[in-house]
Chain A
Amino acid sequence: QVQLQESGPGLVKPSQTLSLTCTVSGGSISSGSYYWSWIRQPAGKGLEWIGRIYTSGSTNYNPSLKSRVTISVDTSKNQFSLKLSSVTAADTAVYYCARDSRGLMPWGQGTLVTVSS
């Protein structure tokens, strides 16, 4: 079955760019009519949808983050990626990737990104 795995630095300095990759295994990222999403969760808080991408490259971003977010896809590597610029401490969270259809399933295990100098 399809599995997702996030990867990237666990520590990012303020004002820099957070970069994460989600690797899809057990199936092709291009098969089926799926979007691929990024979601984050600050410690002890709720879930926030960051954005999503279709394999054609079409994207939707949360307006609250839109000016700082870029999501891209590399079908040859079966991966999609997140870049969040000008980070602050408020961007410290567990970041999840997930396949998006009529619900988010499956999810990656999540990766903690801390913004600190």
Chain B
Amino acid sequence: EIVLTQSPATLSLSPGERATLSCRASQSVSSYLAWYQQKPGQAPRLLIYDASNRATGIPARFSGSGSGTDFTLTISSLEPEDFAVYYCQQRSNWPRAFGGGTKVEIK
């Protein structure tokens, strides 16, 4: 079973700053990695699929990179609505797994 480890657990930043979130897999997931954003009381929203492809309607300030075991989600300039929890998820192997999440909070 693949384990996804996200770091840091919490990221304290100000609007306009760049956010860099990490997701590390316990074994290679090739490029089969997705990123989700979740706000309180809402369902998660798909941001990035297959490591670097933005989902429909996702702003260009969100970008994903990586392959194998190390992946990064970058938010180039934080907007007020970007403060949320972010999860990575692999679809390389069954069972599908999510990372533990990174909370991006306002500094």
Chain A residues within CB distance 8 Å of chain B:
46-49, 60-64, 96, 98, 102-105, 107-110
Bound complex: CA A64 to CA B55 (Å): 30
30 contacts between A and B (CB under 8 A): A46-B87, A46-B98, A46-B100, A47-B89, A48-B98, A49-B96, A49-B97, A49-B98, A61-B95, A62-B95, A62-B96, A63-B1, A64-B95, A96-B44, A102-B53, A103-B46, A103-B48, A103-B49, A103-B55, A103-B89, A103-B91, A104-B34, A104-B46, A105-B45, A105-B46, A105-B55, A105-B56, A107-B43, A107-B45, A109-B42
Quick one: closest B residue to A51, CB to CB? B95
A19 to chain B, nearest CB (A): 20
Bound complex: CA A63 to CA B101 (Å): 22
Given contact pairs A46-B101, A104-B34, A109 touches B95 in the complex (Cβ within 8 A): no
Bound complex: CA A68 to CA B78 (Å): 42
Is A107's CB under 8 angstroms from B44's CB? yes
**Residues on B with beta carbons closer than 8 Å to the beta carbon of A61:** 95
The B contact surface, by secondary structure, is: loop
Is B46's CB under 8 angstroms from A49's CB? no
Chain B residues within CB distance 8 Å of chain A:
1, 34, 36, 42-46, 48-50, 53, 55-56, 87, 89, 91, 94-101
Is A110's CB under 8 angstroms from B43's CB? yes
**Residues on B with beta carbons closer than 8 Å to the beta carbon of A62:** 95-96
Is B87's CB under 8 angstroms from A103's CB? no
Bound complex: CA A64 to CA B89 (Å): 17
**Residues on A with beta carbons closer than 8 Å to the beta carbon of B98:** 46-49
Bound complex: CA A102 to CA B96 (Å): 12
**Residues on B with beta carbons closer than 8 Å to the beta carbon of A96:** 43-44
Is B94's CB under 8 angstroms from A47's CB? no
Q: Which 9 A-B pairs have the closest CB atoms?
A: A103-B49, A107-B43, A105-B46, A103-B34, A47-B98, A103-B46, A49-B96, A102-B49, A62-B95
A48, A49, A103: residue with the most chain B Cβ atoms closer than 10 Å: A103
A46, A47, A64: residue with the most chain B Cβ atoms closer than 10 Å: A47
